[in-house]
Each structure stands twice: as structure tokens, then as C-alpha cells.
Amino acid sequence: MTDSLVVRDGTIHTQTDRGVVEGDLLVEGDEITAVGDVDAPADATEIDADGLIVTPGLVEAHSHAGMAEWGEPEDGDVNEGTSATTPHVNALDGFHPRDEELKHAFQNGVTTVSARMGSGNVIGGVIVSMKTHGTVADEMLLCEDGMKAAMGENPKRFHGEGEGRQPATRPGVAATLRQSLMDAEDYVERREHAEEAGEPFERDLGMENLARVLAGELPLRVHAHRADDIMTVFRLAEEFGIEDLSIEHATEGHAIAEEFVKRDVPAVVGPSISSASKYELRNLTFETPGILHRAGVTVAIQTDAPVLPQQHLDACVGLAVKEGLPESAALNVVTTNPAEILGVSDRVGTLAPGTDADIAVWDGPFYRFDTETRHVIVDGNHVFDRETDSVDPREAYDW
């Protein structure tokens, strides 16, 4: 870890009330300690950012980086397909710090991802916010940020068509989720009764995790593309009093933007650069983030890596800007908004004293296709310098 580091003479997008600051940024240990006019130690490592743009490290609120590795058959460790409901599993236990996806991510400025279970199951398991640079998963962990769930065609195909068991229909998906939440309510009641009576109680890991969802301690993060599936999620959340909720993908979210606003539910949108590989994607468009943003929805943009390479989160933002997302909101959807959604805004998503020293230095607006990272810092470590760390792609081949 670098003891002291200063980024000199940059245009610093703080993502705080201070806005854009011309000047320096001081890092001591793994934290930012000063922004603007800083008094850096004489022996501080210096990074010249003159003429460059400095932003917080980018944050992606929905990824499988570290879970579904590059080159691995099928879908890696993202779906525990032995049951349609697996609330007992935890993504941290399958996170691989040496996944090449993570290296490409931090080299292109993506320093935090929510690494999650897949959408094959109605309930997929606990998901975690992770740094993209490191060697030990436990040290890269920011927090458990939610319980993954899924609606629509993925669990139908994975279980109904693939295994011949419920759910095989959308009502079956909803019923499966509803029954699991009811079971969790009953479990909590039995547990409380046993505690009051001083009686022994056999704990169940999955029910304990779902109890955290019902208590508002663990957000429910639901994969839902079609507008009707999104409304089903809203209906179920209201039935069980679940207020901490996000809609993942939100492909048709633009059609019911007012419903998101009414409930104050954020949307994690994407990936939006694929063909309509299944029926529920037929209304896929990069206009969705802009429409939701203008309606007043908190929006984050995702790659769903490795569906799209994690390193191209910036390009996804550029395409959303091209299709109507205001340039003024471009940085928000991959810094402050996802950090807020994931519950990690006290650590990442801004350049403010006391926050983690996760910093990206760019040679232009980050979302432009001709812009590159020049330097990347994660937890105070200068992990990428384009001048010294870039690799000629031809070196990967035996010419």
C-alpha cells in the first residue's frame, strides 16, 4: 500500500456538493484525505493529471464478474441449480479474485462491482459488493448488498423446461417467491416463540437470510425485464412490506416509469446492447435510462458482465447518452447512484475526504469511445498506469 499519493493538477469530478474542482487530490493510506488545495508530504508519490479528468472509480450495481469467469464452460458459479430457491448460498463463497474479467475492469476504471448469483433461480442467494482489485475475496468485500431474485423467462426455462419442475410459468415464478416469503414469515414467528419460551430451535440458513429481507436488513434485488413482471415484483413487495428493493435490467421500465417514482424504487438498467435473444427483450433500447432519469427514477447502468465485458461499462453509458441520457447524469449512473443503491455510498462513488481512495484518471470524458484511462487507483494503490502497464494484444499470440 502506498503511504501517501497525490494526483496533481487534474479536473476533479468530486460527485459531491463541491462539484468539479481544479487542483490536487491527496491519498494517505487507503483513504482520500484532501481535495483541491492540498498540502502533500514531500515524499508523496505524484501522478501528473494536468489536462486530464479525475473521477471516482466506476461502480457497477449488477455484475457476475468473479463469479462467471472468462473461458469457463456454462455459467460458472452463478446458479446453484439444484433448487428453484437457494437463499442459503452466498456469492462471496464463489468469488474468484483472479478472474480476468476483474483485471480488465479495474484497468478501465471500474473499481467496485456487485457480484451476484444468476437469474436461473427464483431466489438465487446473497449477493456482495466487491472491489475489483485484490487477491483475497474477504479483503475485497465491502458488504452483503442484497438477496437476488428473478422473474420471467430465465427461471421458467431453467426449471420448468430444463428440469420439469415448478416454476414453468410466470404465475409459477410468482407463487414460488410468494411461498418462500410466507415460509420465512412463519419461520420468524416460530423462532420468536421459541426464544420467548426458552425452547430449542433448529435454525435454517436460507430462512435466516430471507428473514433479513423481511426485516429490511437485506435488500431484495429482482431480475425483471417485462413491465408486467416488474409490476408483479411491486405487488409482492407490498404484500410482504418489503421497502428496500431494486429492479434489475428493467428492460421495459420506461413503460411504467411513474410506478417506479410512486414507490421510490431504483432501476439498474442493462445490458442494452444485445439482440432480443428472448421474447421479454423485444423492447430493449438504450433510451430506457434517459426516460427513467427524466421521470425522477434513481438509475444505474450495468453490463451484466460477462454478458457484456465489464471493462465496457463506460461505453454503455456513452450509448445511453447518445440515446437521451443527459451528459450531466452520465457519471451519476455509474458512481453515486449505484453506490447509493448498494448501500456503499459512505465508501465509494465520490471523491471526498474519508472515502476509499478509488480513483480513475481519464484523458477525456469517461463515456466517450475515444477516451482511455491513464491511471487507476484502488484502495490507495496505483494499480494501473497506461504508459507502463499496457500490453500489446499481439503478445497473446505465438506469431
Give the least confident one: 71-75, 130-134, 164-168, 239-243. 71-75
Q: What is the pLDDT of residue 277?
A: 76
pLDDT band at 393 (very low <50, low <70, confident <90, very high): low
Flag whether pLDDT at 326 surpasses 70.
yes
Q: What is the pLDDT of residue 87?
A: 98
C-alpha cell at 57: 472509480
Please write the tens of the pLDDT for every residue from 27-40.
Answer: 999 999 999 989 99
Flag whether pLDDT at 395 surpasses 70.
no
Q: What is the pLDDT of residue 273?
A: 87
Please write the tens of the pLDDT for every residue from 194-229.
Answer: 999 999 999 999 999 999 999 999 999 999 999 999
Question: What is residue 383's three-state secondary structure?
Answer: strand
Flag whether pLDDT at 399 surpasses 50.
no
Question: Positive or negative CA dihedral for 184, 189, 195, 198?
Answer: negative
Strands 267-269 and 299-301: parallel
Neighbour order of strands in the sheet with 267-269: 58-63, 110-115, 123-131, 141-150, 220-224, 245-249, 267-269, 299-301
Amino acid identity of 349? G
Please report where in the chains the cell 442494452 appears, as a residue: 272
Q: What is the pLDDT of residue 1?
A: 44
Q: What is the pLDDT of residue 239?
A: 98
Residue 132 Cα to chain centre, angstroms = 12
Mean pLDDT score of the chain:
94
CATH number, domain 58-348, options 3.30.450.70, 3.40.50.1480, 3.40.50.150, 3.20.20.140: 3.20.20.140
Rounded (10°) CA dihedral 276, 280, 285, 290: -160
pLDDT band at 2 (very low <50, low <70, confident <90, very high): very low
Q: Find, among 221, 231, 315, the residue nearest to 268 by Cα.
A: 221
Average pLDDT over residues 54-76: 83
Domain range summary for the chain, segments of one domain joined by +: 1-56+350-399, 58-348
CATH number, domain 1-56+350-399, options 2.30.40.10, 2.40.50.140, 3.40.50.970, 2.60.120.1440: 2.30.40.10
Residues with Cβ within 8 Å of 73's Cβ and at least 6 positions away in sequence, in order, are none
